[in-house]
Amino acid sequence: MSVATDVLRPVAAVRLDRPEMTPEVNRIPRLGWSIWAAISACLGVLSVAAADIQSRESRPDTYVLFWLGIGLIFLPTAWQLCRRDTTRNERLVLALVLGVSLYLVKCLYSPTAFVFHDEFAHLRTIINLRNSGHLFGWNPEIRVAADFPGLAVVTLSLVKVSGLSVVTSGMIVIGVGRLLLMLSVFLLLERLTGSSRAAGIGCLIYAGNANFLYWSAQFAYESLALPLALAVAYLLLRRSDGTKRELVPALLVAAMVVITHHLTAYALFALLVAWSIVVVLRRRRGRRGDYAPHVPALLLGAGAGLWLGLAAPQTLGYLLPVIGKALGQGVDLLLLRGSNRALFANPGGPIQPVWEQATAIASVAIIVVFVVLELHGWRRRGEHPLTSALAWTSTLYLLILPLRFTIAGQEAANRSGEFLFVGIGVVLATMLIGGGTRASHARNRGVRRWHRVWNRLRRVRTATAFVACVVIFTGGIAVSWSYDARLPPPPSSAGVPTITTPDDIAAAQWFLGEYGPNHRLVADITTGLAFATYGDQNVLSGASDGAHVWRIFFPSTMTPTVYGELVASRVEFVFDQKPLTESVPSSSVTPVFDLGEPTVDDLRPSSVASQAKFVTASGFSMVYRSATITIYRVDQGQVRAASGSG
């Protein structure tokens, strides 16, 4: 290999850690600290388990135990990862311990059943595949979930070979994904920054994305696809060193991403294209040694396009309205037509503590400052093209940030976190521990001065990095899940359930035993999840059936509209949740019945009359009534007659 090529491949040579500062591997006292940090993480998991148990029993102080557990998991590990004299292997293991411990927090939330919304959709895909043996079955919860069967196939394979339950197998599969995620993020950042310390800090920052604790740990296709995509990026990064051995496994894994999750496949494709563009631009400036992932990008794009066209044509119909609505509300915001969402608002739920709100704002501020500094010329010459591509993706964070002030954009902003935080991790980690090493290359004079000051403050850099990581991580949790939904509710909690309760599951199993599968029924979204999976029923929705479910539930009397909707949607059963009349739904369970329902109706309890109308309605007969759920059988003949359409 020529000397020139070596010069053009500077990343491996950029060592932000000083080699003389890297101690011997077998020095016991320091290793002891890392082991204690890992044991502390385990104690943190125990503390979160205690919080969950107390929460199920409606005892007080669960909040303190939860944060104590999170602190025990994060703080010692973060300190060890930020320190200068921790060895590379310790950092790698600690990053894995951190990722897995935080994954266990989600597992402990509900260790015996899936309870989150999207988990039910994927559970339904598995049930369909197990019962029929055929792929692409009907999935009333998320229609496209069945079109991307990667997660379902892997999980069902494990179920069949191991004999474990679907829930346990699903947790193991996602756990393996979490391990792969942390491994890939660490190795990717280590390779890009040339520093295991920066990689460790990057992992801490990545863990600060709002979805890391719960959303990315739930049993859903993205939770498996994202680690696979990052593994592809890492393998292709190794390919850029000149070895070709990683190309075939990278393509195999990329193909797995294509059949597992739509957005992740498209995001990976976009990243490879951006990487290629950076390389092409650099080649114009005379740098010809960089590897450009044209071929993997082309194959991935072709694969994703073919899958979209042949196997999952409804994906665009699923994604575009969500994106369009978010963009529309974003444009409204920019045109000063006002925001339709207040930050930290939780109608119907408890108010988030002020310190959490303050930390959330501080975490966003830290990220914004560093990304803006990056834009102003902190960039180092000679960095890998993928570093440039990832650093530019971090600027998307700034662009998407205003969407948090809109209802539709809030979810998009939150969901983008797990993708964008890889770039944010690169930017912040590099700058926090040693971005000033090449300060003379900074284009802006002010930035150059800041670099020099920063370099003189080397001693406080570890503490600064630690504090920044703690604030970003804590802020990430604060803006992740609704404050009142972070711990499992008691089985007979008052108020509108924010997750599917055992009561719903018991009713769903009763229903399946009594009437068999695949009846057309209408219910609120949370109840419907249990009946679509444990009950194997066809829960009607606007997306899958064109139904307008709320038209049946909101009116106080049996109006022609109610009858018309019952006839048009060929409803066989109607389900009532009594708690909906007793309190205002939490913001985390709106919409209550389906997308598109009038927002004003979500801000108040349903009227008692709106549920009582079914008792005496023509064509309705009560078949089940528990403390919370009432089920009515609908005689379509009588309903048609009542509506005048028979």
| Near other proteins in 64-103, by CB under 8 A | 92
Nearest distance, CB of residue 403 and other proteins, angstroms: 32
- Residue 266 near residue 155, CB atoms below 8 Å: no
If the CB atoms of residues 299 and 322 are measured against other proteins, the closer one turns out to be 299
Should residue 180 be labelled a site residue for other proteins when binding is judged by CB under 8 A? yes
- Residue 90 near residue 31, CB atoms below 8 Å: yes
Should residue 524 be labelled a site residue for other proteins when binding is judged by CB under 8 A? no
Residues within window 569-598 making contact with other proteins, judged by CB under 8 A:
none
Could you give the CA distance from residue 107 to residue 175 in angstroms, rounded to a whole number?
9
Q: Is the dihedral of CA 50, 52, 54, 56 positive or negative?
A: negative
Return the biggest CA–CA distance within the chain.
88
- Residue 341 near residue 406, CB atoms below 8 Å: yes
Residues 6+ apart with CB under 8 A from 229: 254, 257, 264, 265, 267, 268
Q: Which stretch binds other proteins (CB under 8 A): 13-21, 178-186, 333-341, 387-395?
A: 178-186
Backbone angles phi, psi at 436, to 5 degrees: -85, 0
Task: Give all strands (DSSP E) within 369-482, no chain letters.
Answer: none
Nearest distance, CB of residue 111 and other proteins, angstroms: 5
Nearest distance, CB of residue 138 and other proteins, angstroms: 16
Single out the residue of 13, 23, 32, 608 in contact with other proteins (rule: CB under 8 A).
Answer: 32
If the CB atoms of residues 2 and 243 are measured against other proteins, the closer one turns out to be 243
Residues within window 145-174 making contact with other proteins, judged by CB under 8 A:
149-150, 153-154, 156-158, 160-164, 172-173
Should residue 506 be labelled a site residue for other proteins when binding is judged by CB under 8 A? yes
If the CB atoms of residues 6 and 57 are measured against other proteins, the closer one turns out to be 57
Nearest to 402 by CA among 412, 394, 415: 412
If the CB atoms of residues 231 and 371 are measured against other proteins, the closer one turns out to be 231
Should residue 45 be labelled a site residue for other proteins when binding is judged by CB under 8 A? yes
Which ranges constitute the DSSP H helices of 1-61?
3-8, 28-56
CA 608 distance to own-chain centroid: 36
If the CB atoms of residues 176 and 584 are measured against other proteins, the closer one turns out to be 176
Which ranges constitute the DSSP H helices of 9-110?
28-56, 62-82, 88-109
Nearest distance, CB of residue 102 and other proteins, angstroms: 13
Should residue 252 be labelled a site residue for other proteins when binding is judged by CB under 8 A? yes
Residue 467 has which token pair?
């504090």
Single out the residue of 26, 60, 284, 338 in contact with other proteins (rule: CB under 8 A).
Answer: 26
Single out the residue of 14, 102, 123, 183 in contact with other proteins (rule: CB under 8 A).
Answer: 183
Nearest distance, CB of residue 280 and other proteins, angstroms: 27
Should residue 502 be labelled a site residue for other proteins when binding is judged by CB under 8 A? yes
Residues within window 253-272 making contact with other proteins, judged by CB under 8 A:
253, 255-256, 259-260
Nearest to 384 by CA among 428, 419, 418, 430: 430
Q: Which stretch binds other proteins (CB under 8 A): 263-271, 338-346, 520-528, 613-621?
A: 613-621
Should residue 509 be labelled a site residue for other proteins when binding is judged by CB under 8 A? yes
Residues within window 344-363 making contact with other proteins, judged by CB under 8 A:
none
Q: What is the dihedral of CA 188, 191, 195, 198, to 10 degrees?
A: -20
Should residue 409 be labelled a site residue for other proteins when binding is judged by CB under 8 A? no
If the CB atoms of residues 183 and 391 are measured against other proteins, the closer one turns out to be 183
Nearest distance, CB of residue 614 and other proteins, angstroms: 9
Should residue 42 be labelled a site residue for other proteins when binding is judged by CB under 8 A? yes
Residues within window 412-471 making contact with other proteins, judged by CB under 8 A:
none
The span from the first CA to the last CA of the chain, in angstroms, equals 83
Q: Which stretch binds other proteins (CB under 8 A): 50-58, 271-279, 396-404, 421-429?
A: 50-58
Residues within window 108-127 making contact with other proteins, judged by CB under 8 A:
108, 110-113
Could you give the CA distance from residue 542 to residue 596 in angstroms, rounded to a whole number?
8
* Three-state secondary-structure class, residue 419: helix
Q: Which stretch binds other proteins (CB under 8 A): 132-140, 272-280, 284-292, 342-350?
A: 132-140
Q: Is the dihedral of CA 91, 94, 99, 100 positive or negative?
A: positive
Residues within window 614-633 making contact with other proteins, judged by CB under 8 A:
615-616, 620-627
Should residue 25 be labelled a site residue for other proteins when binding is judged by CB under 8 A? yes
Single out the residue of 86, 387, 474, 501 in contact with other proteins (rule: CB under 8 A).
Answer: 501
If the CB atoms of residues 48 and 426 are measured against other proteins, the closer one turns out to be 48
If the CB atoms of residues 73 and 428 are measured against other proteins, the closer one turns out to be 73
Total chain residues near other proteins (CB under 8 A): 96
* Three-state secondary-structure class, residue 365: helix
Nearest distance, CB of residue 40 and other proteins, angstroms: 10
Could you give the CA distance from residue 198 to residue 86 in angstroms, rounded to a whole number?
12
Could you give the CA distance from residue 498 to residue 482 in angstroms, rounded to a whole number?
10
Single out the residue of 321, 490, 596, 598 in contact with other proteins (rule: CB under 8 A).
Answer: 490
Residues within window 215-244 making contact with other proteins, judged by CB under 8 A:
224, 227-228, 231-232, 234-235, 238
Residues 6+ apart with CB under 8 A from 402: 330, 333, 334, 409
For residue 379, the 8-state DSSP code is: P
Residues within window 185-214 making contact with other proteins, judged by CB under 8 A:
186-187, 190
Neighbours of 310 (CB within 10 A): 8
Distances (CA, A) of 279 to 33, 291, 390, 446: 42, 7, 13, 29
